[in-house]
Amino acid sequence: MAQLIYLADDEEALLEVFGTFLQSAGYDVQMFPTGDELFAAFQEHPSDLVILDIMMPGTDGLTICKKLRKFSDVPIIILTAKDSEMDYLHGLAIGGDDYLIKPFSPAMLVMRVKALLRRVDMGQAKPKEDEESNKTLSFADITMNEGVHEAKVDGRELNLTMTEFALLKCLLEGKGQAVSRDSLLKDVWGFQAEVETRVTDECVRRIRKKLKSAGSTANIKAVWGFGYRLEDTAANNE
């Protein structure tokens, strides 16, 4: 069965072009002229991925994104016609998984959609009945069970999105060693290093916030000009 994508954009011509390309790639696409209509449809029947333009009649795309994140971790791609850092950074901060600034090629949209859905499929794949499927990653007070897709701090669930889980997994596998942004882009989003994006930085910021709220002693430290690594602040203070 084809994966279902909900796409909302008030520019009818773009809506048709994007929808056609996604359908040609094998997806089932439902298109909406407003975010409100998309949100209502999602409540009735959730989709596998959501694509939201920011500026639309009625409720704007960022608000719809925020509303969806209250009850769903569906992958969300934010579209914006404004070459404004604040627009897409805000979209990522409230739970968007990726963004594209118009104009962009429909082929680029299809590439981003495939990358996000491929990661979701990997995360939802039925675990094998072997030791590898039940392995636990840990660092400081964080434990992660890949088989059941859980990440906890001292037994308290972190409630990570699929993207956040995948990124934290990469850092946990690094065991305190620095992991490059290029590696994170490739392993988490499926992008090549030359793709211009701030999704890694914003995803890290969201995980930091959740770790802090959970009272974790672990922190994600930026390694200037390279990437990120996990550090245990409790160990550093001893």
Dump pLDDT digits (tens) for 9-57.
Answer: 999 999 999 999 999 999 999 999 999 999 999 999 999 999 999 888 9
Domain range annotation of the chain: 4-124, 132-236
pLDDT tens-digit readout, 203-227: 888 899 899 999 999 999 999 889 9
The residue among 52, 49, 15 whose CA lies nearest residue 36 is 52
Q: Residue 133 above 60 pLDDT?
A: no
Query: pLDDT at position 96, please?
Result: 80
pLDDT tens-digit readout, 146-163: 777 789 998 888 888 878
Mapping DSSP onto H, E and C, the string for the chain reads CCCEEEEECCCHHHHHHHHHHHHHCCCEEEEECCHHHHHHHHHHCCCCEEEEECCCCCCCHHHHHHHHHCCCCCCEEEEECCCCHHHHHHHHHCCCCEEEECCCCHHHHHHHHHHHHHHHHHHHCCCCCCCHHHCEEEECCEEEECCCCEEEECCEECCCCHHHHHHHHHHHHCCCCCEEHHHHHHHHHCCCCCCCCCHHHHHHHHHHHHHHHCCCCEEEEEECCCEEEEEEHHHHCC
pTM of the predicted protein model: 0.66
Q: Are 80 and 90 a contacting pair, CB within 8 Å?
A: no
Query: pLDDT at position 2, please?
Result: 84
- Which CATH number does the domain 132-236 belong to among 3.30.70.1450, 1.10.1660.10, 1.10.10.10, 3.30.565.10? 1.10.10.10
Of the ranges 39-43, 84-88, 115-119, 137-141, the best mean pLDDT one: 39-43
Superfamily the domain 4-124 falls into: Response regulator (3.40.50.2300)
